[in-house]
């Protein structure tokens, strides 16, 4: 299928690895000029802007680079999120994160996206037919006594997306949200990552957590964690003109984790 994306200009945040890298590479393969915002350079043919999105000035720098290099912005994918730099998740219990933890979580997962949208929208309005995809999480919709601050920040991302779709849809900017479940990225696999934390809690080992324990705990219908490419494929379709009537929607890609209607 031709997604009709060739020649368009996209900004992808958190593009150096995992979901962000898969999104960036998929868009490149579709002929998109990709500006990748991340602290380290991705292994992809993109224009990289080395920024820390915890810096309030970073989004404007990224957008300025896209305009300078390619003349505008058609697509914005707010993928950056998860544990703020220096933070390890999961964290258990409401009392565990303090005020500084809450501020860092919202800074990285919500405010960075808000600032990026604020910087990009004026240029997207000039182009017409633009698209924003925000990456949230199933934890926004299935709260529990784990990662409370993360779930709250991602719930806010959902709400912002709905509001933006109402305001800017009539002006030619579609806004949608993708909510992944547990995705097989280095959040899980790295040393000291989620799999090792859960292994310590459950008395298991890292490989067993990824292959068996985590899918069972989350009741994943597929029996496995989601692959980053599965998220990237959905994002590519959402930003395509072929999804021209899709706005204000949430696409959940979670291996069947969420069961409610």
pTM, entire model: 0.95
Collapse the DSSP code of 128 into the 3-class scheme (helix H, G, I; strand E, B; otherwise coil) and give the result: coil
Confidence band for 12, pLDDT divided at 50, 70 and 90: very high
Q: Per-residue pLDDT averaged across 235-240, rounded? A: 98
Q: What is the mean pLDDT of the chain?
A: 96
pLDDT of residue 219: 96
Q: What are the percentages of helix, strand and coil residues in the chain, rounded to 5? A: 45, 15, 40
Report the Cα 119 to chain-centroid distance in Å.
Answer: 18
pLDDT tens, 127-162? 989 999 999 999 999 888 889 999 999 999 999 999
Q: Per-residue pLDDT averaged across 221-236, rounded? A: 98
- If we measure between CA atoms, which residue out of 242, 119, 103 comes closest to residue 174? 242
In this structure, are residues 36 and 116 in contact, taking their beta carbons and an 8 Å threshold?
no
CATH of segment(s) 9-181+227-253: 3.40.50.720
pLDDT of residue 74: 98
In this structure, are residues 112 and 54 in contact, taking their beta carbons and an 8 Å threshold?
yes
Please name the helix (run of DSSP H) or strand (run of DSSP E) that holds residue 112, with its range, or none: helix 112-127
pLDDT tens, 33-55? 999 999 999 999 999 999 999 99
Rounded CA gap, 66 and 5, in Å?
16
Rounded CA gap, 59 and 40, in Å?
16
**Domain locations along the chain:** 9-181+227-253, 184-225
Catalytic residue positions, numbered = 150
Q: Which residues pair with 76 in a beta bridge?
A: 11, 132
């Amino acid at each position: 299928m031709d997604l009709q994306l060739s020649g368009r200009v996209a900004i992808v945040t958190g593009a150096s690895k995992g979901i962000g890298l898969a999104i960036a590479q998929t868009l490149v393969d579709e002929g998109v000029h990709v500006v990748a915002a991340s602290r380290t350079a991705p292994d992809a043919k993109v224009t990289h802007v080395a920024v820390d999105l915890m810096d309030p000035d970073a989004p404007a720098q990224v957008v300025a680079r896209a305009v300078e290099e390619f003349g505008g912005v058609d697509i914005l994918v707010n993928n950056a999120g998860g544990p703020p730099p220096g933070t390890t998740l999961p964290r258990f219990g409401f009392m565990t994160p303090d005020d500084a933890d809450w501020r860092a979580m919202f800074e990285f997962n919500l405010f960075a996206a808000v600032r990026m949208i604020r910087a990009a929208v004026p240029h997207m309005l000039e182009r017409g037919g633009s698209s924003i995809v925000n990456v949230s999480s199933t934890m926004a919709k299935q709260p529990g006594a784990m990662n409370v601050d993360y779930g709250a920040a991602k719930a806010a991302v959902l709400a912002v997306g709905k509001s933006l779709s109402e305001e800017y849809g009539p002006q030619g900017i579609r806004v949608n949200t993708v909510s992944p479940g547990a995705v097989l990225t280095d959040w899980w696999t790295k040393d000291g990552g989620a799999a090792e934390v859960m292994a310590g809690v459950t008395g298991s080992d890292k490989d067993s957590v990824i292959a068996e324990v985590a899918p069972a705990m989350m009741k994943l219908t597929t029996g496995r964690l989601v692959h980053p490419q599965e998220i990237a494929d959905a994002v590519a379709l959402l930003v395509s003109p072929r999804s021209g009537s899709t706005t204000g929607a949430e696409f959940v890609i979670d291996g069947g984790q969420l069961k409610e209607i």
